[in-house]
Amino acid sequence: MQQRPGFLYRFLLRWFVCTLGLWVAAGLLNGYVSYGNHTSAIIVAGFILAIINAVLKPIIVLLSIPAILVTLGLFMLVINGLTVYLASKLYSTLQISGFGAAILTGLIIGLVNYLVTAILEER
């Protein structure tokens, strides 16, 4: 019988994915997403985003279920953008030029999350 990973493992994985996703987004959206080119800054920003995703995002999703259903899930892009935008406001070193860039960053983080999850589930 396979044991499920614990909370700490899942949080560390979420932190890694958020950090990697922010780094990829900063590379792809150069000029719209910036972290000052300091490794420590992107790691801290990933940590803040992971905390927001662990604590606030489930509440926001629960309150937004009608909008998510009406838009067939596309409203999740707005929620992801909101979490990224909130992280940039809480940690000023992470600079997002606008809400549109935050939505694109959230989309990139979601794609990175999908790829990392697919790779880990292969094992």
Q: pLDDT for 14-61, tens place per residue?
A: 999 999 999 999 999 988 999 888 899 999 999 999 999 999 999 999
pLDDT at 70 over 90: yes
pLDDT for 7 equals 84
pLDDT for 10 equals 87
User: What average pLDDT score do residues 85-101 get?
Assistant: 94
> CA–CA separation, 81 vs 53, rounded Å?
11
Q: Select from 21, 36, 41 the least CA-distant residue to 111.
A: 21
pLDDT for 74 equals 95
- pTM for this prediction: 0.89
SS3 55: helix
pLDDT for 29 equals 92
> Which tokens is 4 given?
């499920």
> Which tokens is 64 given?
């937004």
> CA–CA separation, 24 vs 51, rounded Å?
19
> CA–CA separation, 77 vs 25, rounded Å?
15
